[in-house]
Amino acid sequence: MTGRQGIENIEAALDGGADDFIAKPFDTRELVARIRVGIRTCRLENDLRIANVHLTKQATTDPLTGLLNRRRALEILDTELDRGLRGTQSVAVAMADIDYFKNVNDSLGHEAGDRVLKVIAQRLQAVARRYDALVRWGGEEFLLICPHAGRNEIRRIAERMRASISASPIETRPGNAPLSITISIGTAVVAPAVKVTADVIVASADQALYAAKHAGRNSVRGAALGYH
């Protein structure tokens, strides 16, 4: 609100960041009407910001577990591998797969299977480091992205993950006996300053996972890239 008038002043005010312009002397009814318009505009902008946050969350998270999804995981992994290439820190991942998960769905139904997936997601998140990224990779597979983790560290992390699942049975629904669930884990670690794509490190972890399955399940196997 200003005593200045004229198109030049209006143009300067709006170009300077003002959302509206009213000159003195003013009519009270006009001022109130303009304030109402401003309030409506602010509410619309706030609603748009909230909608954008929700859309971003839907695009990057798994709706069942609330974990990050594969799309977001690949973005994070690309970033961490690029940092590892330019720096002195290794990057590791751990791919976990629920053992005999198909039996859960076949015998108890998908509702029980969903409950198992949620509980496992919670337990894995609880043992991950605060700067790790836990992802629902797809189906019954989970991927943990671990920046600054070497061969010994990723092994320790993976063993914590495995133990957190086998430590206690999972309740699926009232009246059903708790399920003893285990996971198999394959890890892969990239040495510092080694150029590796996200697809390569994930494929290496996947191969190690199959080795863990073939070893009898409920176990951890690992691969290392760029080490001599």
Residue 58: partners with Cβ closer than 8 Å, 6 or more residues away = none
In whole angstroms, how far apart are CA 53 and each of 40, 44, 46, 74? 20, 14, 11, 20
SS3 assignment, position 183: strand
Whole-angstrom Cα Rg for the chain = 27
Residue type, 98: I
Peptide bond into 25 cis (omega under 30): yes
Burial annotation 187-205 (CB, 10 A radius, 16+ → b, else e): bbbbbbeeebebeebbebb
Query: Whole-angstrom Cα distance, residue 123 to residue 5?
Result: 65
- Check 45, 75, 140, 141 and give the catalytic one: 140
For residues 222 and 95, the answer to whether their CB atoms sit within 8 Å is no
- Nearest in space to 217 (alpha carbons), one of 117, 120, 101: 101
**Dihedral sign from CA coordinates of 82, 83, 89, 90:** negative
Q: Known catalytic residue: 30?
A: no
Which residue numbers are catalytic?
140
